[in-house]
């Protein structure tokens, strides 16, 4: 069976979420999500939209949302498992910066080694969708009523952008040295605080480094394996880049024992990742 119905459901959700972002108010709900972040009403609404679209597909066995504590079984006899972050970076909507939805599609188990495809949607000045599947990263822009396919995304060996996440005050010394050494080589700072647009920018501009290290206050980093890290690791590797943790392991080789587990993470083209390995001594 192909993943087409799943990609179509993501496309439908993207339009509905785009409408909600445009029209709904931005107030906070009374709830926190599983990681303790305050939820916007829009986070909850986006989650409901996606769950509703996926529930129509009998091939989907289970879904896990960043907004919910536990995974949910949809169809016992289904084959695919999907983990998603319905509206990543939603706290940036009030200042009108880009946000996104992130999806990882797995074969029967929420483990990186079982990942079949990943997809993300960017809600920015334009609506865009990127899919990583069967060895290629395809890029679509919504224009004149439909998603139009653009050139396939491929990373160069070396880029020009540096997107360092986390609070500098809490960075380990070797991490700061690595970030500074890239700036000293002429890299330019590009960081919005939205993982989707920040990683999308590096992919489309040919390369660079996005880092979210382990810090003194958050030794295991902030970004969640299942909802943010694995899907982007899949995109970066498929595009010819690399994605590793602070020990030099491929992110796609890390186990995931809890749906909300986090990890330090580095995504980039080959040159920048070699600099990370050098700085971390791995
Ligand atoms: O996990 C949510 C998120 O907003 C990501 O989209 C983003 O990369 C990260 O948090 C930003 O965190 P910080 O503000 O600590 O760099």
* 224 C-beta neighbours (distance < 10 Å), count: 24
- Rounded to the nearest integer, the mean pLDDT of the chain is 96
* pLDDT at position 33: 73
pLDDT by residue (tens digit) across 137-182? Answer: 999 999 999 999 999 999 999 999 999 999 999 999 999 999 999 9
Q: Does this model's pTM top 0.85?
A: yes
Choice from 102, 212, 217, 227 to test ligand 1 binding pocket (greatest atom count within 8 A of CB):
212
**Among 173, 124, 121, which Cα is nearest to 147's?**
121
What is the average pLDDT across 94-102? 97
* pLDDT at position 80: 98
**Among 134, 79, 65, 85, which Cα is nearest to 107's?**
79
Q: CA torsion, points 28, 31, 33, 35, in degrees to nearest 10?
A: 100
Residue nearest to atom 11 of ligand 1 (CA): 193
Q: How far apart (Å, rounded) are the C-alpha atoms in residues 95 and 53?
A: 29
Domains of the chain and CATH, by start: 4-152 (3.30.540.10), 161-280 (3.40.190.80)
* pLDDT at position 40: 80
What is the token pair recorded at 44? 């909850």
Q: How confident is the model at residue 122 (pLDDT cuts 50, 70, 90)?
A: very high
Residue nearest to atom 15 of ligand 1 (CA): 166
CA of 38 to the centre of ligand 1 (A): 14
CA of 201 to the centre of ligand 1 (A): 15
Pocket of ligand 1, beta carbon within 6 A: 88-89, 165-166, 193-195, 222-223
- The position carrying tokens 């600099």 is 275
CA of 190 to the centre of ligand 1 (A): 14
Least confident piece of the model among 126-130, 225-229, 256-260: 256-260
Residue nearest to atom 9 of ligand 1 (CA): 193
pLDDT exceeds cutoff 80 at 38: no
* pLDDT at position 268: 98
What is the average pLDDT across 59-64? 98
pLDDT by residue (tens digit) across 187-236? Answer: 999 999 999 999 999 999 989 999 999 999 999 999 999 999 999 999 99
**For residue 90, which atom of ligand 1 is closest to its CA?**
4
What is the token pair recorded at 145? 């009523």
**For residue 198, which atom of ligand 1 is closest to its CA?**
8
Determine if residue 46 is labeled as part of a ligand binding site.
no
Angle between helices 41-55 and 4-23 (to 10 degrees): 150
Determine if residue 222 is labeled as part of a ligand binding site.
yes
């Amino acid at each position: 069976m192909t993943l087409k119905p799943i990609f179509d459901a993501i496309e439908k959700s993207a339009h509905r979420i785009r409408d909600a972002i445009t029209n709904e108010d931005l107030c906070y709900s009374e709830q926190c999500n599983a990681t303790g972040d305050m939820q916007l009403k829009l986070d909850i609404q986006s989650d409901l939209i996606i769950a509703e679209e996926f529930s129509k597909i009998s091939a989907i066995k289970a879904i896990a949302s960043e907004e919910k504590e536990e995974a949910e079984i949809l169809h016992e006899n289904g084959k695919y498992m999907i983990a998603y972050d319905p509206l990543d970076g939603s706290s940036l909507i009030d200042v009108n910066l880009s946000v996104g939805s992130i999806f990882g599609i797995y074969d029967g188990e929420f483990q990186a080694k079982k990942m079949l495809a990943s997809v993300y949607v960017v809600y920015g000045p334009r609506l865009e969708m990127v899919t990583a599947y069967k060895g290629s990263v395809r890029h679509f822009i919504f224009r004149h009523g439909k998603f139009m396919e653009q050139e396939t995304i491929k990373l160069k060996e070396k880029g020009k952008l540096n997107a360092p996440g986390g609070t500098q005050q809490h960075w380990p010394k070797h991490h700061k040295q690595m970030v500074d050494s890239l700036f000293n080589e002429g890299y330019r700072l590009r960081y919005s605080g939205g993982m989707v647009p920040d990683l999308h920018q590096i992919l489309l501009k040919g390369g660079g480094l996005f880092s979210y290290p382990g810090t003194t206050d958050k030794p295991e980093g902030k970004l969640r394996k299942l909802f943010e890290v694995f899907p982007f690791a899949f995109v970066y590797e498929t595009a010819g880049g690399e994605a590793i943790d602070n020990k030099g392991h491929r992110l796609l080789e890390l186990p995931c024992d809890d749906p909300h587990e986090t990890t330090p993470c580095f995504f980039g083209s080959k040159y920048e990742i070699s600099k990370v390995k050098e700085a971390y001594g791995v």
